[in-house]
Chain A
């Protein structure tokens, strides 16, 4: 109950202590940490435990049963649900697709974001306007973005169809073709999220000490040399963070896929979460769906931990 139990930085209570002793007994209840702990912690703790941690534990439990969600899970099937997952072609496709999203993000989205960020950070007119426009898709709902792009890609009524029409070509139906659908989705992902990554880089660029660049100028570095040898290394932590968000975002991608393809045609655009939804939730296969959830959980936690260990140790 003493003041030294607080964790406020720069504690200098020691000097105040002896002087305060006579009144301290009177104030002890008011200063007690227990009332505040008992009032302030339980709401968050209870909700978090009941709706985040327990369901995750239950998912691990249910994953060993064949269960439709009613009554109690009784039909123990051992590891069968997990075997079924890894034998399912749609699941391996989902894994590949999640990987493709990360790769596309690293190869296209992040370089694009960095390139735009460097342009916007240089003193140009209308920088604010461009920043605003580029960030706009990020605040739109994934569902709305997906629906808008479903229209864009539509061969009959959409923009892609219109362009094909201009050239007198047969309209393509990218979303209906299993060879092109995933690439079409990658385009939407980049369209929606590059602005967010660009803002990360703009913030990163602002944090760079201008005197370092001036020093490079005095040493006669060219613009490209400055970028490669000064700016880029100093942006290292931002790049690593950006990749981290791309990985996390890819593992969650669901809302955007549903209006675009729903995971089709013939499962060519499934992601981990659409797979969970299409094969677990809609068929109310609680055991199987829970097993997918557990696999997704293990992937998320392993990636998050190892990525932070390996790449973000010093950030």
Chain B
């Protein structure tokens, strides 16, 4: 902690509410620090993207700078290749199915826990919360055997269903807390008007729950889009591989041609980066708030 304690930026930083104007020297100091960190974050990404345009010998002598000669074909060949689109498609299908089921099953179960007291409801809720405590990797071998015995190895469902199962704890927790904080007058009024649980769920709870649907949806989408260990174990055919597995295969295949691997990485992370910049407010809020609350 000493580095924090002795560094001047804190001095100014903790005084935002007091309305003091930051001293120019401190401000410069802060910008230098922030820009330095930003460079460390961005340089690996930019060199990866630029490296995709280089030739291998160019990369060897000049890993940082602009390409001496722009090899558009590195990117072009991948863009027109079937494998790239196939992997993106696989990832998308798996992620969309995962998100949909995580939202549906989670919201439905959470609705029961939020509004209905039944025999053992507290125990059942705690039972679901066990799932928050350990990663999917712990029971990966028995899980694989179970998926195999269900005949789901090498299918999308073999990846989707475990992902949904491991997401239910988080999903139920977030939905339940949100449902319980909706104004209770709504429930009273609906009940008096003769609205049953089902209609209440469809017509009142869900339309009011957009923020939490977005949060749970973002968490499970990002988790599924980036997931590696489950597809690695459950899928055998390359035609069903999502892109994180695809990167590993590609790297294995073009072991000696870093420039192609770099172009491939760039193209596979490009959708994430574009979506992140477009929806950054929601994504940052969803991923951090969601983590804190569950």
Which residues of chain B have a CB within 8 Å of any CB of chain A?
1, 3-5, 7, 9-18, 22, 27, 30-31, 33-34, 37-38, 40-45, 47-48, 51, 56, 59-64, 104-106, 108-109, 111-112, 114-118, 124, 127-128, 130-131, 133-135, 137-146, 161-162, 164-166, 168-169, 172, 180, 184-185, 187-188, 191-192, 194, 196-198, 201, 222, 225-229, 233, 243-244, 247-248, 251, 258, 261-262, 265, 268-269, 272-273, 276-277, 280, 283-284, 287-289, 291-292
Contact = CB atoms under 8 A, between A and B. Distances in A.
A39 B199 CA distance: 13
A130 interface: yes
A36 B201 contact: yes
Given A36-B116, A62-B141, A300-B134, A111 B1 contact: yes
A13 B192 CA distance: 9
Interface residues of A, number: 122
Interface stretch (A51-59, A82-90, A95-103, A172-180): A51-59
Contact of B142 (A58, A114, A141): A58
7 contacts: A55-B142, A118-B10, A122-B13, A136-B273, A227-B5, A227-B10, A281-B140
Contact of B268 (A12, A27, A144): A144
Contact of B137 (A5, A286, A296): A296
Given A43-B105, A254-B137, A255-B229, A159 B43 contact: yes
Nearest to B49: A148
A137 B109 contact: no
Given A43-B105, A286-B141, A293-B138, A259 B41 contact: no
Query: Do most interface residues of chain A lie in helix, strand or loop, or is the interface mixed?
Result: helix
Contacts of B228: 141-143, 254-255, 258
A9 B181 CA distance: 8
Nearest to B2: A111
A47 interface: yes
Main secondary structure, interface of B, reads helix
B17 A196 contact: no
A243 B13 CA distance: 23
Given A36-B112, A296-B134, A280 B30 contact: no
Given A115-B33, A286-B142, 14 more contacts: A6-B187, A20-B192, A27-B194, A37-B116, A47-B161, A52-B168, A58-B146, A59-B142, A158-B63, A200-B288, A223-B12, A224-B10, A296-B137, A300-B133
B15 A122 contact: yes
Given A157-B63, A241-B292, A304 B133 contact: yes
Interface string A229-248: 01100000000010001000
